[in-house]
Amino acid sequence: PYEVLVVGAGPAGASAAIYSARKGLRTGLVADRFGGQVAETVGIENFISVKATEGPKLVANLEAHVRDYEVDVMENQKALKLTKDGLYQVELANGAVLSGKTVLIATGARWREMNVPGEKEYRGRGVAYCPHCDGPLFKGKRVAVIGGGNSGIEAAIDLANIVEHVTVLEFDSKLRADEVLVRKARSMGNIHIITQAQTTEVVGDGNKVTGLVYTDRATGDVHSVELAGIFVQIGLVPNSEWLKGTLELTPRGEIIVDERGQTSLPGVFAAGDVTNSAYKQIIIAMGSGATASLGAFDYLIRHSEA
Ligand code: FAD
């Protein structure tokens, strides 16, 4: 069995595997795809100490760093189930079962998409999901935020300080964000909020986004808005479906961890976007991967006879 079996090879899993291998622990790293969300990212400008890089480049560096250590990397493998039979067992989609004295879950999350024409085509070319990451790219331009929940309104307030103008489009007849955020947004001169708006299309010139189309659900009228960027803020979904009923999750499906990254199951740790960490960023995921790995090390020296 592995001493530390890491599931997920995004920034959190890669960092956890390196920390664990550096402790001399027998480490396995099993993942669907190396790099996780970073593989889909175009520009990265907030990975501190690296002024600017690109997703695929950072993924290649992550992978090279992991492979520099004695880590059993198992790619293209999906974990389906976590059980315990003395040791922890992770069942894979291909039928194989891996066992570990500890398991470290770093399966990340995915942004909920609008699923409208143009969204996929213009992803990274005007369609964005992370205001902390991509906001500065739209300095002085007009953008939209899709979604009037807390993350949407926070994004609008954040962006309004950088961009020329923000249009918020909310599907429902009212905003779901906290009142204090809504008041703040309404007090800013360059935020326009539209409710009952169903975005139906992302429009571009073949190269980048030039606008969007929405239907006013009250009247049925169709409107076009010209803009350079669209921030989709309709939810971040943790990849924790396979753990339902196994360990403690928040109502949104995030794995609850303590300050050492341990979950409600002793010996099972978690890190990165799949957890209830307050913010979701590469540097934060890496830090929490390191924390969870050191947590697993502490656990092992207290619980292993051999
Ligand atoms: P992820 O990166 O999501 O990795 C999850 C890993 O788990 C992957 O290897 C995946 O294949 C694997 N996995 C999932 N389910 C299973 C399963 N059942 N079995 C096996 N393996 C599984 N952050 C920044 O700091 N700066 C940015 O500029 C930035 N830009 C972004 C742009 C985009 C378009 C997106 C989507 C995100 C961006 N982020 C950015 C956020 C950042 O990418 C995430 O916070 C970070 O990748 C989270 O790392 P993670 O390791 O927790 O999860």
Per-residue pLDDT for the chain (306 aa), expressed as one digit of tens each?
999 999 999 999 999 999 999 999 999 999 999 999 999 887 899 999 999 999 999 999 999 999 999 999 999 999 999 999 999 999 999 999 999 999 999 999 999 999 999 999 999 999 999 998 899 999 999 999 999 999 999 999 999 999 999 999 999 999 999 999 999 999 999 999 999 999 999 999 999 999 999 999 999 999 999 999 999 999 899 999 999 999 999 999 999 999 999 999 999 999 999 999 999 999 999 999 999 999 999 999 999 765
Q: How far is the CA of 105 from the centre of ligand 1 (A)?
A: 13
C-alpha 87: how far from chain center: 29
Report the distance separating Cα 143 and Cα 179, nearest Å.
Answer: 23
Q: Is 145 annotated as a binding residue?
A: yes
The pTM (predicted TM-score) of the whole model is 0.88
Nearest-atom number in ligand 1 for the CA of 107 is 7
Q: Give the ligand 1 atom nearest the CA of 282.
A: 25
Ligand 1 center to residue 83 CA distance, Å?
Answer: 24
Specify the pLDDT at position 41.
Answer: 83
The answer to whether 236 and 280 are in contact (CB under 8 A) is: yes
Question: How high is the pLDDT of residue 56?
Answer: 93
Ligand 1 atom closest to the CA of 44, numbered from 1: 28
CB 259 within 8 A of CB 277: no
Query: Is 274 annotated for ligand binding?
Result: no
Give pLDDT, residue 305. Answer: 66
- Using DSSP's 3-state secondary structure scheme, residue 251 falls into coil
Does 135 show up as a binding residue in the annotation? Answer: no
**275 assigned binding-site residue:** no
> Which atom of ligand 1 sits closest to the CA of residue 280?
45
CA of 304 to the centre of ligand 1 (A): 32
Which residues are identified as catalytic?
A: 130, 133-134
- Note the pLDDT of residue 133: 87
pLDDT at 43: 84
Residues with CB under 6 A from ligand 1: 7-13, 31-33, 36-38, 40-41, 44, 46, 78-79, 106-109, 111, 129-130, 133, 239, 242, 272-274, 280-283, 285
- Cα separation, 209 vs 73, in Å, equals 38
Distance CA 80, CA 96 (A): 10
CA of 41 to the centre of ligand 1 (A): 9
